[in-house]
Amino acid sequence: MKISVIIPVRDEEENLPQAISRIRLTAPRAGMEIIVADGGSSDRTAELARSLADEVIELAQPGRAGQMQAGAQAATGDILLFLHADTRLPWDWQSELLEAWSSADRPAATAFRLGFDSPARVYRLIAWAANLRTSLTGVPHGDQAIAVARDAFFRAGGFPPVPLMEEYLLFKKLRALGPARILPGAVSTSVRRYERNGPFRNALRNAAITLLFYLGVPPRSLARLYR
């Protein structure tokens, strides 16, 4: 079973080498490819990607959904794992993923529990709340390293061309194809956005955006709140 790790990036020259190094170090088994989809970086991201990844796709315009869709179309794996450049996979991610996809009750999608790269109590609280949200909605967020069976991904139409909430729209269609499973391992996601905006303010904003989406506010309007 082959895994395609797809990393959408823009100006991630600091994080991308660490992300790819972690993948290579923690995935000793064969049957894996790393695809970087760059959305018009102005730094050395694309140059570094060409030396580190198996394939690099360079797009003129940024947009995470479009970048991930382009990466998926270029991928040759049975499982498509979408990874943010500032998210580190668990050390045993490959074993957990292959075990889930080899089971009799094979899921349509998986994700890991959310964790942060800071031990501060505030981030443990935010991670707990985010994991509770995932258990209630059945939709993990992109920084939880979502993985989707290739056939299910394309049957569901892939990521729609929206500036935000692409995972919610994808999972809405995936539910008809099979269950989503949250794996026991936890990713380690950067707290940089929380530090920049303020931890509680950032968490409350994310919760508000999710609520507004369920109330019918279109993703394009929500994207203005996310910036």
pTM over 0.85: yes
| pLDDT tens by residue, 137-178 | 889 999 999 999 999 999 999 999 999 999 999 999 998 988
Mean pLDDT of the chain: 93
How far, in Å, CA of 184 to CA of 112, rounded?
Answer: 7
pLDDT exceeds cutoff 90 at 85:
yes
pLDDT exceeds cutoff 70 at 39:
yes
Encoded tokens for 141: 């967020």
The position carrying tokens 């382009």 is 70
Q: Specify the CATH number for 3-196; select among 3.30.43.10, 3.90.550.10, 3.40.605.10, 3.40.50.12500.
A: 3.90.550.10
The answer to whether the CB of 88 falls within 8 A of the CB of 188 is: yes
What is the structure's pLDDT at 227? 66
Enumerate the H helices of 30-187 as residue ranges: 45-52, 64-74, 93-102, 121-137, 150-155, 166-174
Mean pLDDT score, 45-58: 97
DSSP line for 108-133? SEEEEEP-BS---HHHHHHHHHHHHH
What is the structure's pLDDT at 106? 87
By percentage, how much of the chain surpasses pLDDT 90? 81
- Distances in whole angstroms, Cα of residue 163 to Cα of each of 23, 31, 160, 173, 227: 27, 32, 9, 18, 11
What is the structure's pLDDT at 62? 84
- Distances in whole angstroms, Cα of residue 124 to Cα of each of 120, 182, 190, 199, 223: 7, 18, 13, 11, 26
Domain regions of the chain by residue span: 3-196
